[in-house]
Structure 1
Amino acid sequence: MQALANSRTFVYDSLEDQDFFDTEKFRQRYEDWVANLCGNLGYKTRRALFKNMMSGDIWLHNGCLKISPSRHVKLEAWDAIDADDVILSLDNSPEKIGSGLRLALSRCR
């Protein structure tokens, strides 16, 4: 729950939203993120970092969490698997939300 509380949120089409999705800034932040992960986690190559990485999206809207697992299609590319979304209420206990997150991650391919 703390990770969710620490996450960024955006108002659609706000200046912050537009800045975050600016192509050049996004590309640079992505490269910085990859370098940071490799350094902090001890990976020597991008390939080693991404080989078994799972990915998903978490959306918060009107008190509901939607956790969407992804399918690993290329080394640094994932596709959504919409049929496998896990939807939870923020009113659920941390244990229930953790269980939902584990379920969503188990659906990553």
Structure 2
Amino acid sequence: MDKKMFNSNDFSFKTSTIKANQFVLAINTLSGKRSFILDNKGKEYLLEANIDNVQLGKALVNCLSVSRRVLPVDDMDLFDYKQGGERYKNWIGRLLEFVEFKSKAKLFRPMFSLTIIEQNGTIFIQPSRQEKPEAWDGEGIEESDEVQISSTSGYEEIGKAVRLALTKCKSVFAK
């Protein structure tokens, strides 16, 4: 597949995020207009890290399928920063319960993060660098680290693409 460029001026894209470590793969729908916000009306999958690629690919496709392009005036709850903070706190609680940890410190050291964007038949999987326990940036990530796959690919291939992108993530906590 030829390398494609994500067009940030074309708002027809759908977004999702994956947070992953040796214990869990957390896949969530993101929505908004330009911003990527954890969508309370989207989907969430908490999967064991060793889940097969078919299930991983299927979960990602399902999360992307319900991503919404929405303005604040059309969904004030989505853009409410207080509710967003509460959603994030609840998400962490669900993660801790899933992995049966009591401590966020153990959960987030390390925790890799991917941003996934589907646009015009291509899925762009963007790795990141974990700079703090709950913060990620693009430092040290090259444009060539992005993984692309056709959105018409099978679940197995999409799952493999996710795993490849995870190998390109960095963390200040990784050994």
If the length of structure 1 is used for normalisation, what is the TM-score? 0.86
Match of 2:137, SS state, is: strand
| Long gaps (5+) in structure 1 | none
* CA deviation vs aligned residue, 1:47-100 (integer Å, no higher than 9, x gap): 011112111111111221111111010011001335111111112233322221
The answer to whether 1:94 aligns with 2:150 is no
Residue matched to 1:19: 77
Give 1:93's aligned amino acid.
G
Partner residue of 2:164 out of 95, 103, 108? 103
Q: Which has the higher contact order (CA 8 A, sep 6+)?
A: 2
Residue matched to 1:6: 62
- Whether contact under 8 Å (1:38, 1:46) holds in the other structure is yes
Match of 1:73, SS state, is: strand
Match of 1:4, SS state, is: helix
C-alpha distance 33-9 of structure 1, shift in aligned 2 (>3 A): same
Moved over 6 A (4+): none
Tell me how far apart the structure 2 counterparts of residues 76 and 9 of structure 1 sit (CA, whole Å).
23
* More strand by percentage: 2
| Long gaps (5+) in structure 2 | 1-56, 171-175
Partner residue of 1:29 out of 84, 87, 102? 87
When the two chains are superposed, the root-mean-square deviation of aligned CA atoms in Å is: 1.8
Percent identity among equivalent residues? 36
* More helix by percentage: 1
If the length of structure 2 is used for normalisation, what is the TM-score? 0.56
Tell me how far apart the structure 2 counterparts of residues 101 and 26 of structure 1 sit (CA, whole Å).
26
Give 2:79's aligned amino acid.
F
